[in-house]
Chains A and B, each alone.
Chain A
């Protein structure tokens, strides 16, 4: 079974803090994704990575950056957290037939 883990289930940060969200997959997948999910807006793609050190912007990259130094690990960084970044953050890893497997999610609250 594909396993995707995320570093925290719940996180509370203050405005202006730098926030790191980590994601690890154990299936040697090349492609990994970060989404945020908000009520009524569905899943929105922030960034994805198609190989180590390779990344592409998704639909809503503003205010975020990513890092992928190792194949199994994909990090999402909020350089200076703002209240409008309060959301559920979901990481996914993709198989060869393009099915995505998701982690449990991180519920981030920015005060």
Chain B
């Protein structure tokens, strides 16, 4: 059975303090990975698709990387508006649905 673990569960950063979020997984037939951002009370917003190990994608202060067993979401010089929960979901050969991690709740303080 596919398993997805995100760490840390919660992260508090000061504005400008860079850090990384981790998504590790055990899946059969990995075809890539998705990252999402979710604001309180709203639906997850799609951020990135990573298709293969070694791939990187960037969007503003976020950079996502992928290996065969884990993905990182690097946040460079974060701002308070980056505060949100970040979810990952490996894309595998098993079935129609995605298996989402429980997320990392990020709080960036001024």
Contact = CB atoms under 8 A, between A and B. Distances in A.
B43 interface: yes
What is the interface residue range for chain A against chain B?
20 to 34
Contacts of B45: 102
Contact of A48 (B34, B44, B97): B97
Contacts of B101: 42
A98 B98 contact: yes
A43 B100 contact: yes
A104 interface: yes
Contact of A103 (B31, B41, B43, B46): B43
A99 B49 contact: yes
A102 B44 contact: yes
A100 B98 contact: yes
Contacts of A58: 97
B97 A45 contact: yes
Nearest to B9: A40
Nearest to A104: B43
User: Could you tell me the dominant secondary structure of chain A's interface residues?
Assistant: strand
A64 interface: no
Contacts of A45: 97
A21 B100 CA distance: 22
Nearest to B48: A99
Contacts of B98: 98, 100
B46 A101 contact: yes
28 contacts: A4-B43, A31-B96, A33-B97, A40-B102, A42-B102, A42-B103, A43-B44, A43-B100, A45-B97, A48-B96, A50-B96, A58-B97, A90-B43, A90-B44, A92-B43, A94-B96, A97-B32, A97-B49, A98-B98, A99-B49, A100-B34, A100-B46, A100-B98, A102-B43, A103-B43, A104-B42, A104-B43, A105-B43
Given A41-B102, A99-B46, 13 more contacts: A42-B102, A48-B96, A50-B96, A58-B97, A97-B32, A97-B91, A98-B91, A100-B34, A100-B98, A101-B46, A102-B43, A102-B44, A105-B41
